[in-house]
Structure 1
Amino acid sequence: MNKDIIINETKIFVKNKLLSEGTGHDWYHIKRVYNLSTYLCEKENGDEFIIKMVALLHDIDDWKFSNNHNTTEDFLKSINVDKESMSKIMKIIKTMSFKGGVQDSTQDSIEGKIVQDADRLDALGAIGIARAFAYGGSKNRVIYDPHIKPMKFKSLEDVKNANNHTINHFYEKLLKLKDLMNTNTAKHIAEERHRFMELFLNEFYYEWNFHKDL
């Protein structure tokens, strides 16, 4: 198994699948997660092949925009990834998503912890803000409705069916991520990105309420 060839084939496959994806889970999100994962791997150690493959493939079967939940596994078989590696890759992918905080996403391997951190870091900061509104727009959600308070989800179905707005997503997920980082390196990066989101929200409410008596 030539790992470099497999990684390159995977890059081509994922790029073709997600280049024009419009919810903020596009090819450029994958590239950022891949680069962040590689950086975290250098700092925290781990199996670089597993980390890179998970980073590349983690959104292919994402429930938010994919109706086929076997594409990733079928692809790994088609490029002859060994069974042990495929098992590790699939286990991480199936368990790393936040999913409204209603399912256990705890990672028991450093590889899972690293890619989960990288994916969550890309949901923070300036890019995280942009992605939140891109996703909200793709679901026809309003930017903000002060009458709809942040929700406490009890199941994945609640997450999928919520009549929500994008600002609530900050309180239901994004502002929680800083304290959910696994690695010390990611925790340090998350602190700065978290502060930027808090600054954004303060400015957002200031502008929203400007001359609100009109």
Structure 2
Amino acid sequence: MPLTSEQLTKIKHYTEHLLAADTSGHDMAHINRVVNLAKYIQYREGGDLDIILASAYLHDLIDDKIFPNPELAKYDLQQFLMEIKIESEQQELIFRIIEQMSFSHQLDHAPKLSLEAKIVQDADRLDAIGAIGVARTFYYGGHKGHIMHQPDIAPRQNLTKDDYRKGSSVINHFYEKLFKIKTTMQTQTGVELAEERTNFMDQFVNEFLREWDFNELE
């Protein structure tokens, strides 16, 4: 049975409530951009739109970067979905998607994804790159107290999940994650959008490093 517009509205409001105080760049503006990207990708690629939209709205609500107790967050979300009468099969599909979203989660293993999961994952990762991605990267780096740039610290290679969560400089994050995102796209639409956004980031980082090292008097 398709989700009703009332159920989707309640899902959106539930997310708005939980992310209202977010200062890490995982706020409702991010969620809305992911939803819009997911709608566009689904329009071109197909898939169950209801499951895609519900998952896009909920994808950050069990993320341990945002919620210190993700198991409790998952339990609360399960209770909420039961309260608004989301069928158990639909709940299973939603959780299967949002539990596979994290970039760091896939550093250690890459699960097989449904079309709906591919679309939501692409939408979320697209919002991490491009102009918005640049802004969110510096915003999150400031939120976590990461240094902006330290030339003598090289970007890390072959990161595990634990390594990734230790953080690095903001500029290193472009090399450790953001420039690699285009190779993780799961849909052709995602590939096309990621190429454009990655080109923008490449130009930005090159200009950043040129200005960082600026010394025309030498």
TM exceeding 0.5: yes
Alignment of 1:18-167 (within 5 A): 18-69=19-70, 70=74, 71-99=76-104, 102-152=107-157, 154-162=159-167, 164-167=168-171
What amino acid does structure 2 have at the position aligned with 1:61?
I
C-alpha spacing 1:143/1:21, structure 2 compared with 1 (3 Å): same
Tell me, yes or no, if structure 1 residue 205 matches structure 2 residue 205.
Answer: no
Which stretch shows the higher mean deviation, 69-78 or 85-94? 69-78
Which stretch shows the higher mean deviation, 56-65 or 76-85? 76-85
Offset, 1:183: 0.9
Contact 2:60/2:66, CA 8 A, preserved across alignment? no
What amino acid does structure 2 have at the position aligned with 1:196?
F
| Structure 2 CA distance for aligned equivalents of residues 28 and 82 of structure 1 | 28
| Structure 2 CA distance for aligned equivalents of residues 155 and 111 of structure 1 | 26
Offset, 1:61: 1.4
What amino acid does structure 2 have at the position aligned with 1:19?
A
Q: Percent identity?
A: 42
Contact 1:33/1:122, CA 8 A, preserved across alignment? yes
Q: Deviations over 1:135-178 (max 9, x none)?
A: 1111001111112111135532222234x211111011100011
Structure 2 equivalent of residue 14 of structure 1 = 15
C-alpha spacing 1:129/1:154, structure 2 compared with 1 (3 Å): closer
Q: How many positions carry a matched residue from both structures?
A: 213
Unaligned segments of structure 1, at least 5 residues: none
| Structure 2 CA distance for aligned equivalents of residues 213 and 89 of structure 1 | 58
| Structure 1 CA distance for aligned equivalents of residues 93 and 63 of structure 2 | 18
| Structure 2 CA distance for aligned equivalents of residues 25 and 80 of structure 1 | 27
User: SS where residue 109 of structure 2 aligns?
Assistant: coil
Which stretch shows the higher mean deviation, 73-82 or 138-147? 73-82
Offset, 1:56: 0.2
Contact 1:100/1:173, CA 8 A, preserved across alignment? no
